[in-house]
Amino acid sequence: MPAEEAVESTIVTVIAGGEVLVPPNPHPLAFVIAADSGYDNALAHGIEADLLVGDMDSVSPEGLLHAEARGIPVVRHSIDKDETDLELALAAAVDRGATRIDIHGGEGGTIAHLLGVAMGLTSPRWADTQVTWHTATGRVCVARPGHPVTVSRAAGRTLSVIPVDDLRGVDVTGTRWQLEHEDLPAGSTRGVSNEITDDTATVSIRDGIGLVIIEGA
């Protein structure tokens, strides 16, 4: 995207490493951050990144040379870092004032990797930012106190609420099985595989953090 628009945009697309099972379609004004080998994924889908971050242990030599030749800023971290490359990319997005972050990639690999991506979305570091992980089967969002998740044009799709910790005051509307001021303890499967029946569905939580998964979205 043009540099002058990138400076203005608060929408950030993060292209992660791993498999990209759905072609990314960044918002026209999105600032694009590649997380290490996510740069190769971006190139494969014809997307030009505005920033490359990570320890550069998985981006291809050709990809790194391409970024440097194009003058794309490269923020290199130690290989002994405590964060994943995706977490570094999310932090970079928040540091530049992102209000919305769309993540593409990060699929495939081990169960630990997939769970790590999902749980990483819940970090308090981006609690005030709308973060969505776009996968082959749907979207993964985070509901927090004061930050409900609303899904539009979703009738017929499946919605699940997965408690990350004990949830209190859970409201779910626009679905076949609605909840009103209910509590969902950590480990509960009560919120799994609900059906969206209305054009719009909303999940709000008074206390706690929940992953909201919309399948087929």
Q: What is the pLDDT of residues 98-118, one digit of tens each?
A: 999 999 999 988 999 999 999
The structural domains of the chain, with segments of one domain joined by +, span 3-136, 149-215
Residue by residue, DSSP assigns 185-210 as -TT--TTSSEEB-SSEEEEE-SBS-E
Location of structure tokens 């994924």: 41
Question: Side-chain half-sphere of 175: how many Cα atoms within 13 Å?
Answer: 23
Confidence grade of residue 22 (pLDDT, cut at 50, 70, 90): confident
Contact 121, 87 (CB under 8 A): no
Q: Give the Cα separation of 217 and 209 in Å (integer).
A: 21
Q: Which CATH architecture has domain 3-136?
A: 3-Layer(aba) Sandwich (3.40)
Confidence grade of residue 12 (pLDDT, cut at 50, 70, 90): very high
Beta-carbon contacts of 90 under 8 Å, excluding residues fewer than 6 positions away, are: 14, 101, 103, 120, 123, 125, 126, 131
Q: Give the Cα separation of 8 and 31 in Å (integer).
A: 9
Q: Choose the CATH number for 149-215 among 3.60.70.12, 2.60.120.320, 3.40.50.300, 3.40.50.700.
A: 2.60.120.320
Give residue-wise pLDDT tens across range 131-166: 999 999 999 999 999 999 999 999 999 999 999 999
pLDDT value, residue 217: 57
Residue type, 159: L
